[in-house]
Amino acid sequence: MPVAYLRGRPRPARIEWRRDAPQPQLRALPRRRPTGRPLPPGARPEAERAVSAVRLAIVGAGKMGGAVLLGALRANVLAAEEIGIYHPDPERLASLSERYGVAGLDDDALHHAERVLLSVKPQSFDSVAPLVAQRNASFISLMAGVTARTIARRVGSQRVIRAMPNLGASIGVSATALAALPEATPEDVTMARTLFRAVGRVYEVREALFDAFTGLAGSGPAFVAVVAEALADGGVRSGLDRATSQDLARQVLLAASQLLEAKSPAELKDEVASAGGTAIAGVRTLERHRLRFALIDAVEQAAERAAELSREDA
């Protein structure tokens, strides 16, 4: 997909985000650069038509921005021609644009975007903020530790929503926290909900709870990975080969997480741990080694570290 280099383009009309809203008739960009041939009188270039269809500009199409982009496309929340991405390096932009099959935006097109997803690292925000700053735009930020009010101050718009997805977004099972400033419009909030529902579950929480959310949902996959590794080591120690042990640990976690959809953790534990059996012997050992305390503390420490990082970035 070619990069749309549009300079001095008039500001496009505001596009309300409603999936069922009638859409302008637009053709997808051709998979080649415009030839430069003169256009018939009154005709608009292909690139301009495509960029005027962009409803969401993504700044930072890396691991998380890319996961949200792919989720939105797969769930048909947005069509490819409704998404544009921005990168300051033209070669990188062209390759990202090609990889995701969406238009690349230049500085000017980005500046005029009505909705912006900020998914750069927090340290890149300084260079991005002046490019996206405008009073009327709506912003969704994934940046860990940068508060909605800080973003609002830097981009000059109070229509800011913070989102905190986790790695599960890459396979459609994210747990995403959302918090909107009161100035965000209902359409802004609907857009954010719909986007993140495309990559998993959405939890609307107060922004003050984002650090706690990061401690559990953001860092949790790492804790569970440690548990999976240790379970596999236990299998190896008991005589199973490494590959089988790892596969079993994965399968156990998968089964447990699916069973936990229908019952509480205590119910599941009690169901497996029958009188005088193997599981209760193992549970006793976990209690002796204070696994419960270790996990509670891990979540709490991770949440505290998230708060600490936010203060450093403030």
Per CB under 6 A, 165 contacts ligand NAP: yes
Residue closer to ligand NAP (CB basis): 128 or 232: 128
Is the C-alpha dihedral spanning 214, 299, 206, 309 positive or negative? negative
Residue 156 gets the label, from left (phi > 0), alpha (psi -120 to 50) or beta, of: left
Compute the distance between CA of residue 73 and CA of residue 71 in angstroms, rounded to an integer.
5
Stretch that binds ligand NAP, among 30-38, 86-94, 230-238, 306-314 (CB under 6 A): 86-94
Q: Angle at Cα 129 formed by Cα 128 and Cα 132, nearest 5°?
A: 90
Least Cβ distance, residue 107 to ligand NAP (angstroms):
10
- When binding is defined by CB under 6 A, the residue of 12, 34, 45, 62 that contacts ligand NAP is 62
- When binding is defined by CB under 6 A, the residue of 3, 29, 57, 64 that contacts ligand NAP is 64
Per CB under 6 A, 142 contacts ligand NAP: yes
- When binding is defined by CB under 6 A, the residue of 63, 74, 153, 263 that contacts ligand NAP is 63
- When binding is defined by CB under 6 A, the residue of 127, 185, 244, 251 that contacts ligand NAP is 127
- When binding is defined by CB under 6 A, the residue of 6, 46, 69, 86 that contacts ligand NAP is 86
**Could you tell me the two tokens for 59?**
């700044």
Q: What DSSP string describes 192-253?
A: HHHHHHTTEEEEE--GGGHHHHIIIIITHHHHHHHHHHHHHHHHHHTT--HHHHHHHHHHHH
Residue closer to ligand NAP (CB basis): 147 or 166: 166
CB-based closest residue to ligand NAP: 62
Q: Which residue has the tokens 């008739």?
A: 25
Give the residue among 202, 145, 151 at the shortest CA–CA distance from 177: 202
Amino acid identity for residue 76 in this structure:
N
Compute the distance between CA of residue 59 and CA of residue 311 in angstroms, rounded to an integer.
24
Asked if 54 and 84 count as a contact pair (C-beta separation under 8 A), the reply is yes
- When binding is defined by CB under 6 A, the residue of 88, 156, 172, 234 that contacts ligand NAP is 88
Per CB under 6 A, 84 contacts ligand NAP: no
- When binding is defined by CB under 6 A, the residue of 164, 180, 202, 212 that contacts ligand NAP is 164
Is the C-alpha dihedral spanning 189, 191, 194, 200 positive or negative? negative
Long-range contacts of 240-248 (CB under 8 A, 24+ apart): none
Using CB under 6 A as the binding criterion, the count of chain residues that bind ligand NAP stands at 26
Asked if 137 and 114 count as a contact pair (C-beta separation under 8 A), the reply is yes
Stretch that binds ligand NAP, among 17-25, 81-89, 243-251, 280-288 (CB under 6 A): 81-89
Residue closer to ligand NAP (CB basis): 59 or 161: 59
Cα-only R_g, the chain: 23
Stretch that binds ligand NAP, among 8-16, 53-61, 75-83, 188-196 (CB under 6 A): 53-61
- Return the number of other C-beta atoms located less than 10 Å from residue 153's C-beta: 13
- When binding is defined by CB under 6 A, the residue of 28, 34, 80, 124 that contacts ligand NAP is 124
- 174-180 and 160-164: which strand pairing? antiparallel
Per CB under 6 A, 9 contacts ligand NAP: no
Residue closer to ligand NAP (CB basis): 84 or 235: 84
DSSP assigned state of 117:
E
Least Cβ distance, residue 287 to ligand NAP (angstroms):
32
Stretch that binds ligand NAP, among 5-13, 58-66, 239-247, 255-263 (CB under 6 A): 58-66
- Interface residues with ligand NAP (CB under 6 A) are 59-65, 86-88, 92, 119-122, 124, 127-128, 142-144, 164-167, 218
